[in-house]
Structure 1
Amino acid sequence: MIDNARITIEIAARAARLRDQIHYHDYRYYVLDDPEISDAEYDLLFRELERLEEEYPELVTPDSPTQRVGGGPAEKFESVTHRQPMLSLENAFSEGEVQEFEPRLKRFLHQQAEFDYVLEPKMDGVAVNLTYEDGLLAIGATRGDGHRGENVTQNLRTIKTIPLVLRRETTPAPAFLEVRGEVYIELAEFKKLNAAREAQGQPAFANPRNAAAGSLRQLDPAVTAGRPLKIYCYGIGEVAGREFSSHWEVMQTLKTWGLRVNPYVDRCQGIEAAVAYHHRLEGLRHGLPYEIDGVVIKVDSLELQTRLGIKSRSPRWALAYKFAATQATTQVRKIIVQVGRTGAVTPTAIMAPVEVGGVTVSRATLHNEDEVARKDVREGDWVLIQRAGDVIPEVVKVITSRRTGREKPFKMPERCPVCDTPLVRPQGEAVTRCPNPDCSAQLKRAIRHFASKGAMDIDGLGEKIIEQLIDQGLVQDVADLYRLQASDLLPLERFAEKSAQNIVQAIAGSKKPSLGRFIYALGIRYVGEATANLLARHFQTLNALKAAAVEDLLLIEGIGPQVAASIRDYFQNPKNQALLAKLLQANLQPQAATQVLTTPLAGQTFVFTGRLQQLSRDEAKALVTAQGGKVSSSVSAKTDYLVVGKDPGTKYAQALELGLTILDEAGFAQLIGRIT
C-alpha cells in the first residue's frame, strides 16, 4: 500500500530543492555571468517544477521562479512611499567642477585628509526601489518624485536579474531592506525590440531609457515580461537587521545576497584618482553593451556621508561627473517658428536626421531671434549640434567652411504663423510673442501642459488627440475637457467605443488633484512645479492664493517680484477668473496641501540672519521647508525662530526686542536633528 503522506513530503522536498537549484542557477547566469549548466538542463529543472506545482498547487510559494509573471492586468498603479528618499545627484560637466568637489567637502568637515571614494558607471536607465522583507521581494517601485513612486512590483518580478529571494549562504538577509537600482535595456536588445515593433506597425521607442521606462509602466505584467529588461543595483535606502560602515561594503554585500552590481564599480583615494577613472570609463563607453552618461563619485565612509548630509535635493557626499556632451554634424533644411502656451515664438531648426547619443534627432532649438543672429544660422547650413547633459538638442555653431552661398538667412515673421496676429517683442525681452490669447497653437500647448504628468496627469490625452479636439471645436479651453462624453470622441480619427470611454474616464479621474499639481497645471508664467508646490504649502487653499496680494507673495522665500506680479496678474485677469469658475463648476476639487506634522519644524516660521558656517543659506532654508516649516525674510511677532550666523544684521536686535527664540547654528542643527 502506498504511503500518501510519505509521497507528499517527498514531493514537497523535491519542489523545494528545485526552487533552490533554479535560484542558484539564475544567480550563476544573471549575476555572476558564469553558468554551470546548459540552457536545456535548466529548462528541464524549470519544467519539472512547473509540473509539480500544477499537480500540487499548495506547493506554490511567492518566491517560486514560476511566479515571476502572475495575475492579470492592473487598473492603475498605486502610490508607494520610500522609507528613505531617492535623491537626485548634483551634476558636474567639467574637470574643474570635479576638482572643486573634494576641497568643498574638506571645508565643510574641517579636515585635510583625502577622501576614499566609490566610483560607479552612471547607468542611463530608470531608477527603482526594491523592498525585501525577511529576504523576500515584497514591493518594487519607481523613483517617482524621490519620496513617492508607483508600485510596479508585478512588473519588476518579471525581470530575471532581480532575485525574488535573497541568497543567505554567506550573509544573513536583513529583516527589512530597500535596494536602489537602475533598470535598463542593452543596446542590441533595444534595436531588436524596435525592429519588432516597427514590423507590427507600432511606433519605435526613442532610446533605451525611454523603452525601459515604458516597459516598467505597463499595466499588464505579461507585456513587461516580454521586454529585455535588466538591472544593476547601486545602493540601499533603509535597512533593519544589518549595519554597514562603508558604501563599498554595501556593494560587496549586495552581491552576496544575489543582487547584480556593475562589474566596473571601483574605489579609490583622492579626487585625482576619481577623475582618472572617469577618463578611463569614457574611453570604454562606446564599447559597452548599454548606455552610460557619466560616472557617479560617492564618499565611501557612511559616517562621513551622515556628517556631510544633504542639500535641498541632492546628497552633499556624491557627484555625477557627466561625460562630454554628445555632438554630431548635420544640415539645417528649414527654420520654422513654434508658438508655445504662453505665446512665445521660438525659432526651431528642422535638420537632416542624425543620431546623437543613441537618439535620432531632426529638430534643434534656436532659442530666440537674437540667438539665431548671434550664431548666424541659415537654412542650408551645416551645423554642429549637441545634447548637453543628454537633454534637448541645440545648435552649437555653424560650420561656415561648408557654405556654398545658397544658404538662406532667417527672418522672424511679423505675424503669427498660426492665427495671423501681428507678433510683438516687448522692450527689454529677447522673446517674440503672439499676443492673441485665443491662438489655437497656444491653446493646444496649454492643454498639453494641463494634461501632462506633472500637472493633472491625464493618461492617454496626447498631442494628436488634443489637436483633433481643438480643430473640431470640441474644446475651447481646459475646462471643456470635463464636458466631453464618449459620443463626442467617436467621430474622431482612431477612436472606438473603448478608447473613447478610457479618455473620458481618465479626464474624470483627474478631478481631485493636489493643490500643487492644479496650480502648476494652470500654466501661470514663471510658476514651475517647485514654485507651485511652494504656493500650495503656504496658502493651503486655492481661494487663499487667489486673494493674495503681491506683498503677501513676496513674504514667501523663493518668490521674487517678477513671479509675484505674474501670479497676481493671472488671478486678476477676468478671462482666467472665468476659466477657474468654469473648472470649479465642472466639480474640480483641488486637495489642500498637507503639512508635515511629525517634525519639530512643522508649521514654525524661521528667519535667518548672518553668515552660516556649515550650511549655505539656501540649504538651511531647504531643510526647514522639507520638514514642514516656513521661511520668512523679515522678523515679526509671528516669527518662531531667528537663526543667527556670523555678523548678524538688524534682525538680531529686532528679535531681542520682541523676545523671540534665537538659535545659533549649533542650536538650529540640534533642532532639525542634524549631526554637526
Structure 2
Amino acid sequence: MEKPISDLSENEAQEELNELKLLIWSADRLHHTHDISEISDGAYDREKRRLKELVDTFPKLRPQAEKILDSVGAPAASGFGKISHAIPMLSLGNAFEDGDVADFTKGIRNYLGQSADQSLAFTAEPKIDGLSLSLRYENGRLVHGATRGDGSTGEDVTENARTIADIPQVLTGAPEILEVRGEVYMSHADFATLNARQEEQGGKSFANPRNAAAGSLRQLDAEVTRARPLRFFAYSWGELSEPLAKTQFEAIERLSVLGFQTNELTALCTSVEEMIAHYRRIEEQRATLGYDIDGVVYKVNDMALQARLGFRATTPRWAIAHKFPAELAWTRLEAIDIQVGRTGALSPVARLTPVTVGGVVVSNATLHNEDYIQGRDNKGEEIRGGKEIRVGDWVQIYRAGDVIPKVADVDIRKRTGNEIPFAFPTTCPECGSEAVREEGDAVRRCTGGLICPAQAIEKLKHFVSRKAFDIDGLGAKQLEMFFEDTDLPIRTPVDIYRLEQRDGENLAKLKNRHGWGAQSAENLFAAITQKRRIPLGRMIFGLGIRHVGEVAAKDLALHFGSWADLAAAVDLAREAALAHRAADLAEEKERQAAAAEGRRARIKETRDLEVSRLEVSASARESWEDLIGIDGIGATVGLSLSDALANVEERSVIDALVHELEIEAPAAPAQESPVAGKTVVFTGKLEKMTRDEAKARAEALGAKVSGSVSKKTDILVAGPGAGSKEKKAQELGIEILDEEGWLARIALL
C-alpha cells in the first residue's frame, strides 16, 4: 500500500510527483476531449489530491506541481465552435476520509478567522458522474450551451443542449443574465436501453453511462443527440446580472422554481458530523439511485462567505468533493519498463496482464523507484514486509484516483520459481548516459541533459504546452516528427523560431510530406510568429526548469519585471547558491553521522561552519536572499534556476531563444492603489484577518508579497510576536506598520 504522506522523505515525494507529469495531460485529453475513461473520475481526482497533500507537506515541491494541480479539463475538440466562459468552470478539491472533511471545515474557519463555536453551514449534494455543461440565458432565453473544455474555453453544444428535455428554452422571472451550470447524465435504465439498441443496429456499445452521456452530447449532428436519453441536473451558476439568493441552498431552490431539475438529496448541514452522516446516507442509496454518482459535494452555504473565501488556481476554497473509496485487484506483472522524464528521472512502470478495477481496464502501473521494487524505502527501511517485486509476480493494483495506478503489494505464495528479479539500470535506456542517484535522493537521473532524446523531446512538449507557449498546430505528434527529421530538425525551442528561416528547398519538403500541405505549413509559420511575443511569466514557465511551475514563474516575472533582470540576479547569486548547497550537503552528512552514532545532529552549527568556509560576496548574498525571499519561491527553486542558467549548453539555448522573442513585462499595477508596486512583508500574528487573506488583498492591490526582509522591502506589517524581521526592518530603515496602520493604508478602516 501507499506510504502515508507524513512518512515520505522529500525525495520520495519528488518521485511521486515526477511519475504523474507525463501521464496527466493524456488522461485529460482522453476523458474530456475523446470521452474515453481509461481511469475513473474518482481515480483521477484522488491522484490530484495526493499531489495536493504532497505539496502541503513539502512546500519546496509546490512550484513544480502547479502544472498538474492547475489542470482543468482539456482543450475543446476541433469539431465544435468554441465559447469562452465569462467565469471559469473550475474543478473541486477532494476529500477521501472523514478527517479530510474536518480539515476542510477547519481550513475555512482559519481563513475566515472564525472560532469553532461560530455558526457555519454547508450544503451537501450527490456528485453526479456525467459531463459538465454551462447554459447561458439572456432575458430569459437560452443563448448558448458550452462544455467545460479546459475551464476557460469549452465546446459550443448549444443545438445539442436544446434537445435535452430537462433544459428549459425559456425562463420566467430569471435575472437578465443567468449562466446555469450542471451535469448532463444518463440513467442506468436508459443506458441499458441505449446499449441494447446499439447492439441491434450493429453500433458500438458504450462502456458506462458517463461515456454514453458525454459522447451523446458531443455529437456533431444534433439529431443524434435528440435520439439519446440525456438528462440534466442543475447545481451551480456562472455569470449573473443579479444574485439568485443569499445562500447556496436558497439559490438551488430558485433554480428549481425557474424550471431546472435539481437533486432532491441536497441537504443543509451545520456541522462536520451532519455532513458525514448525510454522506453515509447517500452512500447507502448509491446502488438504487438509478444514476451514477462518485461522491458528495459540500459547499459553504452563505454566498457572502463564498465570495470572501474566493478561489485557488483551479478550485474554490468554499467547496470540496467527498469521494467514495478506492478499489483493489490482483494481476500478473509481465514486464518492467523504464521511462525517462523531462528532468531525466528514470521511472519504472509495471506492464500488467490487463485487469478490470472498478470498471476500468488497467494494464500499466507505477512502481515508484528502485527502492520500492526492492521492498524498502530510500532510508533502507522495509516496506511490504521487505518483499521484492519480480517480473512474473502476482501483484495487487491500487487504484485510488491514480493517473497511473500503483502496485501496492506482491503475493509471494504464488511464486513458481520462474519469476525474475529486476536489475534497475545504471545507464539511461534512451541515450546510454550514466544514470546517477545522488546521496539522499530516491530518484536515479540520466546525466545526458539535452543530448538525451527523451529529455529533449519532453522539454519541447512542455515548451509548446497550453500554459507555456501554446503554439497552435505544434503538438506532441508534430514535435516528434520534427525531432526525428534530418532536414528540418527541431531539437531545442530556438529551432522552432528558426524553422521558417531555413532554405526554400527544405521548406518545400515540409509542404509535401508528413501530411503537410502548403496551407498547413503557412499556418504553422503564422502560429509560430504569433508566439514570438510572449508574457514573461509564460516564457519562464516554458523553459521547463525543474521546480519552476506556472505560479513560481509568474511570481518571478512580477518580482523582476524582465528576463534580463532575473538572469542577472540569478548569475549574481550563484556564489551564494553554491554555498547553500554545500551547507545542505554538510547538514545531510551530519544528520546521517548522528543517526549512526545514536545522537542528535548539530545541524545549525554544521551549516554555519560550512557557509563560513566559503567566501561569498555581500552582493551575491543579497541577491540570493532577494531571490529566495520571494513569497512562494524559496531555496529549491533558487538552486534550480541557478543550476539551469549556469549550465553552458542550456544557457546558450535560452540566450538564443530570448534573442528570437519579444518578451512582455508583467502589467503595471493599478496606479490608484496606495501600495501598487510596493514589496510588503507580513510578520507576527494578524488579528483582523488571516495571513492568507492579507496576502490575497495585498496582491489584488498590486503589491508584491515577500517572505523575507531585504533592502527591496517597502513595508513591513508587524503584528504581535514579530521578531527578527522587525529588527532587520528597523536596521534597514524600512517603514513598519501595525495591522491597523496597514488596513488604514489600504482603506479598509
Match of 1:429 in 2: 441
- Report 1:164-563 matches (<5 A): 165-168=169-172, 172-183=173-184, 231-242=232-243, 244-285=245-286, 291-305=292-306, 314-374=315-375, 376-389=388-401, 391-437=403-449, 438-473=451-486, 474-482=489-497, 483=499, 487-489=508-510, 506-549=527-570, 550=573, 551=624, 552-563=626-637
Of 654-663 and 433-442, deviating more is: 654-663
Letter in 2 for 1:417: P
- Label 1:158 to 1:494 Cα distance change in 2 as closer, same or farther (>3 A): farther
Match of 1:99 among 86, 97, 102: 102
Match of 2:126 among 121, 130, 134: 121
Answer yes or no: is 1:662 the counterpart of 2:737. yes
- Label 1:639 to 1:151 Cα distance change in 2 as closer, same or farther (>3 A): farther
Task: Report the RMSD for the aligned CA atoms in angstroms.
Answer: 4.3
Q: 1:526 is paired with a residue of what secondary structure?
A: coil
Cα separation, 2, equivalents of 1:210 and 1:403? 39
Instruction: Assess if the C-alpha contact under 8 Å between 1:447 and 1:466 holds in 2.
Output: yes
Instruction: Assess if the C-alpha contact under 8 Å between 2:149 and 2:155 holds in 1.
Output: no
Runs of at least 5 residues in structure 2 that lack an aligned partner in the other structure: 1-77, 376-383, 501-505, 574-623
Match of 2:723 in 1: 649
Answer yes or no: is 1:132 the counterpart of 2:137. yes
Cα separation, 1, equivalents of 2:198 and 2:645? 50
Match of 1:589 among 651, 662, 667: 662
Match of 1:110 in 2: 115
- Label 1:181 to 1:577 Cα distance change in 2 as closer, same or farther (>3 A): same
Offset at residue 607 of structure 1 (A): 0.8
Q: Deviations 1:624-670 (Å, cap 9, x if unpaired)?
A: 33553211233456544433333122434555674725141795499
- Label 1:475 to 1:651 Cα distance change in 2 as closer, same or farther (>3 A): closer
Cα separation, 2, equivalents of 1:547 and 1:186? 60
Give the number of the structure with larger relative contact order, counting CA–CA contacts within 8 Å between residues 6 or more apart: 2
Q: Deviations 1:544-575 (Å, cap 9, x if unpaired)?
A: 32222242422311111121121122233332
- Label 1:100 to 1:77 Cα distance change in 2 as closer, same or farther (>3 A): closer
- Label 1:120 to 1:152 Cα distance change in 2 as closer, same or farther (>3 A): same
- Report 1:9-88 matches (<5 A): 77=82, 79-82=84-87, 88=91
Letter in 2 for 1:477: T
Runs of at least 5 residues in structure 1 that lack an aligned partner in the other structure: 1-72
Cα separation, 2, equivalents of 1:475 and 1:384? 42
Offset at residue 325 of structure 1 (A): 2.3
- Label 1:101 to 1:81 Cα distance change in 2 as closer, same or farther (>3 A): closer
- Label 1:652 to 1:480 Cα distance change in 2 as closer, same or farther (>3 A): closer
Offset at residue 610 of structure 1 (A): 0.7
Cα separation, 2, equivalents of 1:519 and 1:114? 45
Instruction: Assess if the C-alpha contact under 8 Å between 1:450 and 1:521 holds in 2.
Output: yes
Letter in 1 for 2:361: T
- Label 1:102 to 1:326 Cα distance change in 2 as closer, same or farther (>3 A): same
Q: 2:667 is paired with a residue of what secondary structure?
A: coil
Offset at residue 481 of structure 1 (A): 3.0
Q: Deviations 1:513-537 (Å, cap 9, x if unpaired)?
A: 4332222221111111221222222
Of 266-275 and 646-655, deviating more is: 646-655
Q: Deviations 1:345-385 (Å, cap 9, x if unpaired)?
A: 11110112233454333211212111222252221222222
Cα separation, 1, equivalents of 2:311 and 2:359? 33
Cα separation, 2, equivalents of 1:582 and 1:556? 27
Offset at residue 501 of structure 1 (A): 5.7
Instruction: Assess if the C-alpha contact under 8 Å between 1:157 and 1:164 holds in 2.
Output: no
Q: Name the % identity.
A: 40
Q: 1:452 is paired with a residue of what secondary structure?
A: coil
Of 325-334 and 506-515, deviating more is: 506-515
Letter in 2 for 1:593: P
Offset at residue 254 of structure 1 (A): 1.0
Cα separation, 2, equivalents of 1:361 and 1:672? 57
Of 317-326 and 335-344, deviating more is: 317-326
Instruction: Assess if the C-alpha contact under 8 Å between 1:340 and 1:441 holds in 2.
Output: yes
Match of 1:634 in 2: 708
Cα separation, 2, equivalents of 1:372 and 1:223? 53
Of 223-232 and 236-245, deviating more is: 223-232
Instruction: Assess if the C-alpha contact under 8 Å between 1:183 and 1:232 holds in 2.
Output: yes
- Label 1:298 to 1:652 Cα distance change in 2 as closer, same or farther (>3 A): same
Q: 1:628 is paired with a residue of what secondary structure?
A: coil
Letter in 2 for 1:479: V
- Report 1:593-632 matches (<5 A): 593-595=666-668, 597=670, 600=673, 602-613=676-687, 617-618=691-692, 620-632=694-706
- Label 1:598 to 1:377 Cα distance change in 2 as closer, same or farther (>3 A): farther
- Label 1:287 to 1:645 Cα distance change in 2 as closer, same or farther (>3 A): farther
Offset at residue 217 of structure 1 (A): 8.9
Letter in 2 for 1:387: R
Instruction: Assess if the C-alpha contact under 8 Å between 1:215 and 1:223 holds in 2.
Output: no
- Label 1:103 to 1:651 Cα distance change in 2 as closer, same or farther (>3 A): closer
Instruction: Assess if the C-alpha contact under 8 Å between 2:494 and 2:656 holds in 1.
Output: yes
Cα separation, 2, equivalents of 1:593 and 1:217? 38
TM-score by length of 1: 0.74
Letter in 1 for 2:469: M
Cα separation, 1, equivalents of 2:563 and 2:646? 14
Cα separation, 1, equivalents of 2:208 and 2:658? 40
Offset at residue 410 of structure 1 (A): 1.5
Match of 1:580 among 633, 638, 654: 654
Q: 2:565 is paired with a residue of what secondary structure?
A: helix
- Label 1:316 to 1:341 Cα distance change in 2 as closer, same or farther (>3 A): closer
